[in-house]
Each structure stands twice: as C-alpha cells, then as structure tokens.
Amino acid sequence: MAQAGRRPGQTETREEILEAARRRFAEQGYDGATVRAIAADAGVNAALLHHFFGTKQQLFAASMNLPVDPGELVPRILEGPEAEIGERLVRAFLGLWEAPDGRAPFLAMIRSATTNEQVATMMRQFLERAVLARVAEARGVPKVRVAGIAAQMIGFALLRYVIGLPPLVNASEEEIVGMLAPVAQYYLTPGTEKVRLPMHQEGGLARHWSETTG
C-alpha cells in the first residue's frame, strides 16, 4: 500500500479527487461533505480515495494544501511532560509558520475565511472536529479553553505574518516561545478555569497554578 507505484493517469485522478473535495467542502461544509460523495464526483470508488488520501480529515488537509495534518500534529503536542505542553504547542505552531512552504496555505485560509462565509463554515467545523474536541478530551479541559489558545495563536499569526507588527516581527523564536508558552499552559491546564477575578484575591491564578502544576 505504501508502494502504490505511479501508473499513468494517477496524478490526474488525485487532482480530480482534490478538485471534487474542494468543491464539496465549500458547498456543504466539512461536516456535510461525505467521502462517498466526493469519490462519486471524481468517478472513483471510496476505497481508492482512501488509498490515496486516508481519512476525511487528511483529505481535507490535502485539499486545502495544508502542509500538515492536524491529526498527526495534535498527538505530538499532547505527548510529553505535562508542564511543557504549552511550550510544545508554541514550538509546533511556529515550526509550521516559519517553514518556507508552510505560510502561504494558512495565509490563504485566513484570508478566505474572513471574506467568504463558506470557507468560514468549513474552517469552523474542521477546527471543532479535528482540533478542539480532541485536545479538550485529551487534556480534560472545556472546549472553550482550547478555543482560547487557538485564538491566541491565530491572532499572533495574523499580527506577525499578515499585518507585520514590528515588535512581533522583530522578536526571536525563543522570545516568542517565552511569551506565549505560559499562556498555552494556562489554557491547557485543568482547574485554571476556576480562577476568580480579581486575580490577587486569595492568590488568584498564581495559587491555582502552583497547585495544579506543582
């Protein structure tokens, strides 16, 4: 299966499947589009589509030209010492954006999502299924907390890579990790959602963190 070889027409078939996927995802959203319908549109059977692209989520990542499938990235972030999960998340995210071929597809996705309701729907459903639900369950935190760190990272990418805000553009990778990792750690640590404001009352967040991260 790994060595499928290159028969004539295989590249075209792949391209036709990706075309059909882009069309279906745009028209019906990530949830509404089925692998079966995409295969039928491309004139192939579902088994062949699966052979080429794997799961629906992997097909989506390929059709959007994402350089990485979140299905692979998320477990890499979750595995490892608890106290360093924030740092792993920020480093993985930076790795994607700083890679030469990594930036363009994400930029395209943010641009389309802010100008096109269909793309926004796709992105919303994909983020929820492929990222929020999975990370929330693995970490034992509410989905809204995972959305909080997603917001931090997407806003950071927008200001550093799209708007080009000088203090963020000029910051080194290590400075960025030092600044963002504690925020990621906060969102992904169970118990921090019970913090009450103002923060200094009864030790506030400081106390919760020292209790939960020891």
Mind giving me the DSSP string for the chain? -------TTHHHHHHHHHHHHHHHHHHHHHHH--HHHHHHHHTS-HHHHHHHH-SHHHHHHHHTT-SS-HHHHHHHHHSS-GGGHHHHHHHHHHHHHHSTTTHHHHHHHHHHHHH-HHHHHHHHHHIIIIIIHHHHHHHT--HHHHHHHHHHHHHHHIIIIII--HHHHSS-HHHHHHHHHHHHHHHTSTTGGG--SSTTGGGHHHHHHHHHH-
Interaction of residue 104 with a copy of itself, rule CB under 8 A: no
100 binds a copy of itself (CB under 8 A): no
Q: Which of 50/129 has CB closer to a copy of itself?
A: 129
Q: Pick the binder of a copy of itself from 68, 74, 78, 159 (CB under 8 A).
A: 159
Which residue pairs, CB below 8 angstroms and at least 24 apart, start in 49-53? 49/17, 51/1, 51/4, 52/13, 52/14, 52/17, 53/17
- Write down the least CB distance from residue 88 to a copy of itself, Å: 10
Single residue of 11, 45, 55, 210 touching a copy of itself by CB under 8 A = 210
Distance CA 61, CA 50 (A): 14
- Min. distance of Cβ 66 from a copy of itself in angstroms? 16
**Considering the rule CB under 8 A, would residue 106 count as an interface residue with a copy of itself?**
no
Q: Residue from 123, 130, 135, 188 that binds a copy of itself (CB under 8 A)? A: 123
According to CB under 8 A, which one of 97, 143, 190, 191 is a site residue for a copy of itself? 143
Residue 197 in the binding site for a copy of itself (CB under 8 A): yes
CB of 190 to a copy of itself, least distance (A): 14
Q: Which stretch, 4-12, 41-49, 69-77, 185-193, contacts a copy of itself (CB under 8 A)? A: 185-193
168 and 159 Cβ atoms separated by less than 8 Å:
yes
> Shortest Cβ distance from residue 94 to a copy of itself (Å)?
13
Among 75, 83, 137, 190, binds a copy of itself (CB under 8 A): 83
Tell me which residues touch a copy of itself (CB under 8 A): 81, 83-84, 86-87, 110-111, 113-115, 120, 123-124, 127-128, 132, 142-148, 150-156, 158-160, 162-168, 170-171, 175, 177-183, 185-186, 192-193, 195-200, 203-207, 209-210, 213-214
